[in-house]
Amino acid sequence: MDTQKTAFITGATSGIGLAIAQTFAKEGYNLILCGRNTDMLDKLQTELSAHCKVATLAYDVRDKDAVASSIAGLQAPFNVIDILINNAGNAHGMDPIDTGSLDDWDAMMDINVKGLLYVSHAIMPQMRDRKSGQIINIGSTAGKEVYPKGNVYCGSKHAVDAITTGMRLDLNPYGIRVGAINPGMVETNFSKVRFKDDDARAASVYKGFKALQAQDVADVVLFAVTRPAHVNIADLTVMCTAQASSVVVNKSL
């Protein structure tokens, strides 16, 4: 990289976000890493500082005041954010719509949708004023199709899909690149969270085939941010070879 860019990554302490942080660090991006797990944020800051400058922000993305004040409080060089990776998000529960849990629904809409908006709201104005920047929202195949019992999770990811398009339209006058990377099944702690620490049920999701790994998605995100300035990866879906749709997965490969 000729000039050192700064990337802001939400949900950076595990899974896809962690892989993006580690990948970007090795490429020399300065990093602002966000998450709730302060121990992991401290550990990452120590580890990744060997490669780049690292700032950490510990907040719950659902807390709009904490999001706004912690981003407003960033000092140089972290107050100029070139790349925003809206990665934080999860599934909570997998129930038919008529028996779904309100707490699960709140968590998914608050984190996957409103959290993304709160963070973006705090960062988009500086990109607009500088007339440069890149925003990548980590969507999902669940934002492209709806599968049985996916209901509200799919709804939250469809919202991410629509919001990504809205951002691209409204930020177009300012030369800001906006795109979504939509992974299919990725073997992280995603299912462990979805199934509330039922390890056996979570492990069964990825049995019998080779799912995407977090690093596979991080590689795609790195590809998106290393394109020339006139190229915007607007909408990219990535699945493992065994997966053809949300419900068609070949477990005999």
Q: Does 141 bind ligand 8X3 (CB under 6 A)?
A: yes
* Shorter beta-carbon distance to ligand 8X3: residue 31 or 142: 142
Q: How many CB atoms lie within 10 A of CB 236?
A: 16
Among 5-13, 30-38, 45-53, 137-145, the segment contacting ligand 8X3 (CB under 6 A) = 137-145
- Taking the complex as a whole, the smallest distance from the CB of residue 215 to ligand 8X3 amounts, in Å, to 16
Binding string to ligand 8X3 for residues 94 to 123, with x set by CB under 6 A, is what? ------------------------------
Helix (H) or strand (E) holding 84: strand 83-86
Strands 134-138 and 235-238: unpaired
Sheet of strand 235-238: strand arrangement: 54-58, 30-35, 6-9, 83-86, 134-138, 177-183, 235-238
State the Cα–Cα distance between residues 43 and 25, nearest whole angstrom.
14
* Shorter beta-carbon distance to ligand 8X3: residue 138 or 233: 138
Q: Does 11 bind ligand 8X3 (CB under 6 A)?
A: no
> Alpha-carbon Rg of the chain, whole angstroms?
18
Locate all alpha helices (DSSP H) within 142-213, ordered by sequence.
151-170, 190-194, 199-205
- Taking the complex as a whole, the smallest distance from the CB of residue 10 to ligand 8X3 amounts, in Å, to 16
- Taking the complex as a whole, the smallest distance from the CB of residue 102 to ligand 8X3 amounts, in Å, to 20
* DSSP character at residue 245: S
Among 26-34, 98-106, 136-144, 168-176, the segment contacting ligand 8X3 (CB under 6 A) = 136-144
The residue from 29, 118, 153, 206 that is catalytic is 153
- Taking the complex as a whole, the smallest distance from the CB of residue 246 to ligand 8X3 amounts, in Å, to 5
Among 44-52, 140-148, 169-177, 214-222, the segment contacting ligand 8X3 (CB under 6 A) = 140-148
Q: Does 239 bind ligand 8X3 (CB under 6 A)?
A: no
Complete DSSP assignment for 4-39: --EEEESSTTSHHHHHHHHHHHHTT-EEEEEES-HH
Interface residues for ligand 8X3 in 189-218 (CB under 6 A)? none
- Contact (Cβ atoms closer than 8 angstroms) between residue 6 and residue 29: yes
**What are the distances in angstroms from CA 177 to CA 42, 61, 127, 171, 174?**
31, 23, 10, 8, 9
Identify whether 29 is a catalytic site residue. Answer: no
Q: Does 155 bind ligand 8X3 (CB under 6 A)?
A: no
* Active-site residue list: 153
Q: By the criterion CB under 6 A, which residues form the site for ligand 8X3?
A: 140-142, 150, 184-185, 246
